Structure 1
Amino acid sequence: MNILLIEDDPRIADFLQRGLRAEGLQVQRASTGPEGLTLVLDTVRQNKPDMASTVVVLDLMLPGMNGLEICQTLRSQGVTIPVLMLTALSTLEERVAGLRMGADDYLCKPFEFEELLARLEALARRGQALQNVRPKHLHVADLILDLESMRATRAAEALNLTARELALLELLMSAPGRLFSRERILSSVWGLNEDPLTNVVDVYIRRLRSKIDDGRPVPLIQTMRGLGYRLEAPPEAQA
């Protein structure tokens, strides 16, 4: 689960960040309203693979832009990430206002950390259910990845890929033309605990390229030296 934490009280923010990370969750943090809005919108634009399990934890009272304004702005721009709003104000009017502005749940301070976790897990499940409209196939030129059977073909020829190669291919095909850094690939496919100095990404890119591109007239995997990798079809192959 990926948590976007928008909280201006450093004591509360530090406590939540430590606790959530101790539970194995990823946490990104902002301390003002404008910073928080930018954090959420940037996350949406990046369209990360973990978007379906992303939840915003949003304080109501923030400098620069309050939680209600942030929530209303997100919903007006079509952002559907679940929002859990935190507030020291527990009046019915405040809770109703937050829900009407698009918040998915409300938690009043002070709260028990276990309750926060339970609410986040429920919101993440709801977000994943809404994301179940994901396509059944990914297409780039004549390369097809069936996301249900996790089988790949190129020009109708089956590709014999390992589980890790399939995960790498799914990441690259999820955003054709997008440049993925080695660090981003390592984090997404191997996890945050992998040694950042390892060359495993380069090794698997070579393996994947040998199975997808070798002997083909149109190569799809491109190396941007010093920057990373992307998968896309040249314009002439984009029919």
Structure 2
Amino acid sequence: MPNPVEPDFATRPSAAIVPGCALPPRTLLLVEDSRFAAEAVRLICRRAGIRLRRAESLTAARLHLRVYRPDIVLVDLGLPDGSGLDLIAGLATAGPRPQRLIAVSGDATLEGAARAAGADAFLLKPVTLTQHLSLMTGDADLRPASAEDCEARSRNAGADPLALRDDLRLVHDLLSGTGAPERLHYAGQFLASVGHALHDSPLATAAEAATRAGDRRSLMALAQAKSAQVPMI
């Protein structure tokens, strides 16, 4: 569910940058339907001093943006109610424009479309602090404090297995019954996105192939097999 409406923190003054490590306070709206992928971004934001809100759909994002103007908007391109490209295009031409408009996807071929829509940067999933923080913030010279810190922060450590279970349950629910082709396509691209967030290339590749083939049974089997690997807590 979307977070409750809060005051617009984007108007607060920024603190000074501590060279080589800390960031000034920033705000970020993450438009992402996967709880597991969102958890990885949450960990990055927490470590970098960025205030985070999350919207799970285009509709929820637009509701947030009526009362909240973040510094950074990070938009997944595959959403349950449409393409993130539409939101990026609208924000790129509306005023006031966010300082950074960023597209994220597991499909590298979408970078050109994202930039044409107005994105300042394109992040290829999985999103990690080491590879992507400078693109998120626009600080080209930003570096982690040490190589050891860099390695630790680049992993998806600490992500909640409950979030992964929720994502896989959603895939199962979408594929159950005889849904429309659009429903199958969304379930498949969502499962592929989960694979990218997990650094699980075989899962992502198999989900993408099954989606192209419209193979509901294979997608269901992939989701069930991955669910069986998630540790119980």
Give TM-score, length-normalised by structure 1: 0.44
**Greater fraction of residues in helix:** 2
Tell me the TM-score normalized by structure 2. 0.45
> Bigger relative contact order, structure 1 or 2, given CA contacts below 8 A and separation 6+?
2
Structure of greater Rg: 1
